[in-house]
Structure 1
Amino acid sequence: MPSLHRLTLSLALVLAGGTLHITSVAAAEGQSAAEIPYAQIERLRADRDWLAALSLIERHLAVHRADADLYRLRVLTLADIGARDRARTLYLARPQLFSAEQAANLNAAGLARRIVWSKAYAVDEATRLEEARAADAAIDAYRAQLASAGTPEPASLAYDRLVVLNRLGRHQEVADEYRRLENSGRPVPGYALGAVGDSLLTLRRPDEAAIALERAVQADPEDPDLPIQLGYAHLERERYDLALPLLRGLVEARAPWPHAPGARRGYENWQRYDAETNYALARAFGEDQPGAQAMLEPLAAIGPNNADLQASLGSIYMFRGWPSRALERFSIASTLDERNVEARIGQVETLSTLQRYDLARPIHDQLLARYPNEAHVRSMDRNWDMRRGWQARVYAAGGRNRDGGGASPLGNRDREYGVEVATPLIDDRWRLLARSGRRWADFQGDRSVAQRNEVGLGYAYDRLDAQLYVGRDRDGLGGTAIAVGAGWRIDDRYSLRARVSRNDAAASLQARASGITGDLVEIGADYHPSERTALGASLQHWRYDDGNRRDQLSLALDQRLLSRPHLLIDGLASLGAGRGSRDDAPYFNPSRDASVEFGIRFDHLTWRRYDRHFRQRLTLSSGAYWQRDYGTAWVPSLRYQHEWQFAPGRVLSYGLNWSRPVYDGQREQRLGFDAEFRWGE
């Protein structure tokens, strides 16, 4: 969220806008008032010539060190000139010289200055909150002093403290105090509502934050940060219809930052920069990643030493599915500014995606130690635990086929159930694996069943991931099952995969009904140029026990057609071809076949609240299937699915599917279902 770069406090404004006057009294301890030009000092102060007045005061105070009036004039002039913290320090040294009204004003002004300083960027992380803690301690001491004297607190003190609490990350206290003040008939003024809105957003209460920030914008329409905060509140409410026009309007309302090739510098307009970068990120959140990239890359070319800009561009690259490119940007941002928390969080996320937990861990641990109360750091830690922890999947599927005359390789009815479990990461690379599954299908009254238990070992490091499984079917058919698979990531776009399996679990149940099992060799390649395009190819070679050799080639394309904040539409296309070496196999085994299919998928984000969401997907497709000796037939299909995410890594999905496939020239109608629950990444 954008930081509050400017803090305006009510009492500070009063003190900055006017002069604190005093009534002169005789000098103490025998000093002669006639020797001191009080009238001249007062004229200079009345003319707001603070420096001349202060210079005159200091010159005479050097001679008349004990003069109470000069001391008082010095303190009040320091407050007028803007040195309010110094003025308060001097006041506290001799408080008896000041009236109750002057004391209240000096205390409020000094505390206000400390609050302003608490927003400044610290020289090092060890002292980043030092000023905020000092301001909080000073406020507590002042409140205790007022309470002991029975003096009512200034109205502004509670409002000012909201800003300090926000800076210290004590967001629940901000929310509680804000509600108390509002309910007691003391509405929080505009200057403190930005801090309130920020805390409410951190607490994931965007509806309340939007109300507070709308009031803040109305109270101070010139503050450049408040509309940006309001835009983020709308984004977190899923109101892209409000957020995107608001942020786009900020960009259009602010003059561009001209830059000519070869010029040493452009005409700086940081408000335009803030509006542009935040609008770009909002577009990315709203599924317009290419538009966001097009906005940020030219800015990064102009200002390559801007750490925040490099980190923002890294986030866009992650959205686009380019973790290596994103890591480069996050690393640059961290080098430019080691205090950039978002850049270091980005490093942890990208290194985890790239399976380099050994490099991510020191950054993760350092962030957690230094910023334990930061919302984004806590979220990073939850994702870290989720990725590295237990992984599990429970699934079920089945269907009923009619009118096929017994040719279907799926039988008249079929079911499948299973569970897969993986232990937490061991030494950043290894997992122990286990899975158990049961499949059965009815073929004209005869049921074919396969029930298998397997254990395995998984390895994932950098570009390589691999798995080894060993298992056995309950009935012992086919002997020991062994499967070895591996994948190699070439870069952000290309990857390769291969698998070799003896007594493969996916072999035809129709073949199994005749006591026949099959081995599999599979190779594949994937091309993923961005989040909008995915192309995959695979080649399978089956070796069945009866001597049959079957080869299958498939290509699949998934291409984004439309992207909106809550609706994605993808075009689907696939090609397939196969051949079998035996014509007399007791299972579906075309000597030659081929297919082409085109479809469209609608993915609607119906509801989302931060990490939780509900999606609906509808997929329609139709294509032509050709089989030697049986000709060509059109094959339609329909699928409808729900997806519930209860938390990161906690996803339940289920769906129904309908199709009219053709086997050996016989058309059948299939109605099926599937469901799964995933725990972990």
Structure 2
Amino acid sequence: MPRTVGPFVQRGLRPLFRVALCSQLCWPMLAFADTAYDQMVLDARAGHYTPALTALRQVPAAQASTAQISDHLQIASWAGLDAEVVAVYEAQGRNRALPVQALTATARAYRNLKRWDSAAELYRQALVIDPQNPDLQLGLALTQADAGQPDEAVTRAKAMVAAKPADPMRRLALGYALTRANDPHEALFEYDQAFSRAGSSPEVAREYIYALQRARLPEPALRLARLQPGLIERGVQRRLEGDVAAERVRLADMASRSEQERFVIADRALADYDKLLATWTPVAEAHDDVLRWRIDRMGALNARARRAEVIAEYQKLIAEGVSIPTYALRWVASSYLEQREPEIAVDLYRRVLSAPDADPAERFEDSTALYYALLESEKSEEARALAEEMAKAQRPRIELKGLPIGNPNDEWMDAQQLAAQAGTYGADLPSAEARLETLVNQGPGNTGMRLAQADLYQARDWPRRSENLLKEVEATIPRNRDLEIAQARAAMDLQEWRQMDALTDDVVARYPENAHVKRLQRQREVHDMAELRIEAYTGKSYGGGNGDAGAVTGSRDFGIETLLYSPPIDEDWRLFGGAGYATGDFEEGTGHHRWQRLGVERRTRDMTLEAEVSNHSYGSGDKQGARVAVARDIDDHWQYGGSLDYLSANTPLRALNSGVRANGGSGFVRWRANESREWRLAVSPSHFSDGNNRLETLLTGHEGIYSAPRLQVELGLEVGASRNSGSNEVPYFNPKADFSVMPTVSANHVLYRRYETTWSQQFQVGAGTYSQRDYNTAAMGLLSYGQRFIWNDVLEAGAALSWLNRPYDGDRESDVRLLVDLTYRF
């Protein structure tokens, strides 16, 4: 924030200096022996200049003596008539042998008129006459300081101080020269020395206050000013009060001694500004200061996490035509980013970086903020390019004189981390993993780098690996906010609900205003909600041996199931219940199936368990069923599980329509390398009530082949085989044995994404073969297109239209199917 320059610098010599430089003006006997003239001189010394000046002005220039000219110069100087002093000197005194007093008065007049060279020349002339005169040395030093020769002024003033260290005037002169040399802290030392020797002098105290202000120490300056009311001008004290509040704004952004004190300084600054604005807004002369306070107050609001108020004040100032300085634009941009308006933040950060008065020391921090604003604006390619540019611009070490290898550059490490993390957000997780691993090896004690690595492990679906790394970091920074947020998210992935609650409660209590904490709290709230799932399908088959009646699904088939989960009970448990209906037209008639389900789910670390009972209505009467299923994780890569079904829900509707039911089960093992590679093998035996035993095996897998922020493409493979012991002369599709291979290419394209809202489309194409015992091997083809919408963490809905062409018992059949699903949490 800009600082107010003390009037001492703006206006030249203060009165104390003027008195000191006049100390040699001890008037000699005047040339006139006229008693009346003597009295006029005495009156002039007492402050009544007009009579003497009137008399001297009436003396013809040609008749004026050296003494009269000297008197005229000195009395006019006393009267503050600098222009008259210079005019008299240049017209009458330039070629006279004037005394030191007259030369000094003229030099002072030249100096006040900012004619530095002429003033310095006269001071030097006077020093030839009286080389040991300290007041002449003082005047020359001050003139050199004003004339843009601060080094010479400092050298001269230091010599004067060395000769007489206890003289406060010499200390003040050296302080003035150092101020002109742009060394306010060294200057403050000299002013402090003068104050310690002559602090009772109002002029010395006043200059000390100005020196404190220039050294950016407004609080002690204001405290001293308040001890002596009236010592400084009202406007200067007003600006000092604003400087104190501005200093607190800067301090509010720094790390505090404890979490409880994070907002104490910001609250004090806001209280200062509220008082200042209430007092001075109605005063016209304070208009510029009031505008500055309003601008600086936005910094206190930003530090206090009152982002909406920052934006509101910014918009008011813009509407009033106020130009917002660069330092304040940072606060506004930060507030817009926190308020989830990243596009505006991007524009503001770019203005900050391109501003003529941009601070080079702030460039890295501003560029980092722009990077995150670009990410949240869904401009991940631009963000990644910026991160790479920052990484290249920084040097690993800072070269320092006397250190041959320099010091490590923290900004280089931060830039490398940013570039590595850009790969995570840019859907290039393998590259990000390799870069982060290299950086962690280079700086194993860098906790920020290890937290970034843990976040990457979570993005790659390795929650246990992330958890282990976070435990190592915990030994160094046990209650770090970012650490606990990452641990809470890992706990959520691992179904460690109590641990998630403890960590979330802790960071919410300590940092309720933080955006990442708010996000974590929202995820916990969604987890604690009830959940509604709805799935529906409809389709139509063409061709086949039964005309328009599909061999498996029938024709004009339709089905829907609704399932409702309760909120978590005692963290691990959820009750669920639901109902469903399915129908289809087959050659032997229309089939109907109605069912109701009631069950319980338990989710704990490494295991998910479900048990349910069900009621089924098909054919005649009601039948009861049951199911139990378990899935257990071995580690981040392996999972196994299985289920047992009494009156299996997988029984074909065509079999149920003919009164045939089935019991069965399933077992599976899954291997998941990372987010883009997975394989799953499932084996499902079942026993039909007509005596048929079926064994099905299915191998599925996918491999990512292309990944970008908005597009992911993967290869898939589905290999299936089945065997039935019964005759194929049954009223449902029952091949003795079959084998199918279906490679696919799938693509997911994000159409729109903003924070928790995503709209995407999915494409899939597949071509394979199907082999059935007693029939020839034939081709299969698949086309599918769908869209999916996710909103605010609580709503997810999707629809997909597919076309499948394949043979059944040697007859080719096409099936067009629409699938719709919806999940809603409340």
Indicate whether the TM-score tops 0.5: yes
3-state SS of 1:668 partner: strand
> Matched residues in 2 for 1:210 and 1:351: separation?
34
Gaps of 5+ in 2: 24-134, 136-165
3-state SS of 2:584 partner: strand
CA drift at 1:136: 1.9
> Matched residues in 2 for 1:42 and 1:266: separation?
40
Aligned positions of 1:237-636 closer than 5 A: 237-256=377-396, 267-338=407-478, 340-406=480-546, 408-444=551-587, 446-475=589-618, 479-583=623-727, 584-636=729-781
Residues 307 and 340 in structure 1, CA contact (< 8 A), matched pair in contact too: no
In angstroms, what is the RMSD of aligned CA positions?
A: 2.8
Aligned positions of 1:93-104 closer than 5 A: 93-104=227-238
Residue type at the aligned position of 2:823 = R
Percent identity between the two aligned chains: 25
1:188 aligns with 2:324: yes
CA drift at 1:168: 0.9
Residues 650 and 677 in structure 1, CA contact (< 8 A), matched pair in contact too: yes
Residue type at the aligned position of 1:620 = V
**More deviation in 322-331 or 202-211?**
322-331
Residue type at the aligned position of 2:613 = V
1:122 aligns with 2:256: yes
| Distance change >3 Å, CA 588–CA 168, structure 1 → 2 | same
Residues 333 and 340 in structure 1, CA contact (< 8 A), matched pair in contact too: no
Deviations 1:283-320 (A, max 9, x none): 21121111222222222223233232222222111111
3-state SS of 2:295 partner: helix
Residues 355 and 461 in structure 1, CA contact (< 8 A), matched pair in contact too: yes
3-state SS of 1:410 partner: coil
Q: Which one of 312, 320, 339 corresponds to residue 176 of structure 1?
A: 312
Match of 2:178 in 1: 47
Residues 168 and 197 in structure 2, CA contact (< 8 A), matched pair in contact too: no
3-state SS of 1:631 partner: coil
> Matched residues in 1 for 2:213 and 2:796: separation?
59
3-state SS of 1:96 partner: coil
Residues 298 and 313 in structure 2, CA contact (< 8 A), matched pair in contact too: yes
Gaps of 5+ in 1: 1-8
Deviations 1:425-470 (A, max 9, x none): 1111001111211111211261111110011011011111101110
CA drift at 1:144: 2.7
Residue type at the aligned position of 1:555 = L
Residues 308 and 340 in structure 1, CA contact (< 8 A), matched pair in contact too: no
Match of 1:3 in 2: none
> Matched residues in 2 for 1:204 and 1:447: separation?
54
> Matched residues in 2 for 1:634 and 1:24: separation?
105
Deviations 1:650-679 (A, max 9, x none): 111011000112111110111110101112
> Matched residues in 2 for 1:477 and 1:573: separation?
41
Deviations 1:111-166 (A, max 9, x none): 33222211111232111222222222222222233247663251322222222211
**How does the TM-score come out when normalised to structure 1?**
0.91
Compare the two structures and name the one with the higher helix fraction. Answer: 2
Deviations 1:547-589 (A, max 9, x none): 1110011111111010011110011112111101112433211
> Matched residues in 2 for 1:307 and 1:606: separation?
36
Residue type at the aligned position of 1:45 = Y
CA drift at 1:71: 2.7
Residues 270 and 297 in structure 2, CA contact (< 8 A), matched pair in contact too: yes
Bigger CA radius of gyration:
2
Deviations 1:342-392 (A, max 9, x none): 222111111111111111212111222222222221221111111121111
Residue type at the aligned position of 2:818 = F
Match of 1:198 in 2: 334
**More deviation in 211-220 or 89-98?**
89-98
3-state SS of 2:512 partner: coil
Residues 542 and 551 in structure 1, CA contact (< 8 A), matched pair in contact too: yes
> Matched residues in 1 for 2:664 and 2:224: separation?
85
3-state SS of 1:661 partner: strand
Q: Which one of 136, 148, 168 corresponds to residue 37 of structure 1?
A: 168
3-state SS of 1:417 partner: strand
> Matched residues in 2 for 1:318 and 1:636: separation?
36
Residue type at the aligned position of 1:602 = A
Residues 626 and 647 in structure 2, CA contact (< 8 A), matched pair in contact too: yes
> Matched residues in 2 for 1:489 and 1:258: separation?
48
> Matched residues in 2 for 1:410 and 1:204: separation?
48
Residues 234 and 240 in structure 1, CA contact (< 8 A), matched pair in contact too: yes
Residue type at the aligned position of 1:435 = G
Q: Which one of 158, 165, 179 corresponds to residue 301 of structure 2?
A: 165
Residues 380 and 425 in structure 2, CA contact (< 8 A), matched pair in contact too: no
Match of 1:209 in 2: 345
> Matched residues in 1 for 2:217 and 2:393: separation?
35
Residue type at the aligned position of 1:42 = A
Structure having greater relative contact order (Cα 8 Å, sep ≥ 6): 1
> Matched residues in 2 for 1:486 and 1:577: separation?
24
Match of 2:110 in 1: none
Residues 50 and 81 in structure 1, CA contact (< 8 A), matched pair in contact too: yes
3-state SS of 1:187 partner: coil
Match of 2:14 in 1: 23
**More deviation in 613-622 or 41-50?**
41-50
CA drift at 1:26: 11
Q: Which one of 211, 215, 223 corresponds to residue 77 of structure 1?
A: 211
Counting matched residue pairs gives 663
**How does the TM-score come out when normalised to structure 2?**
0.76
Structure 1 runs (4+) greater than 6 angstroms displaced: 17-22, 263-266
Deviations 1:182-212 (A, max 9, x none): 2221131111112211110111111211111
> Matched residues in 2 for 1:307 and 1:177: separation?
38
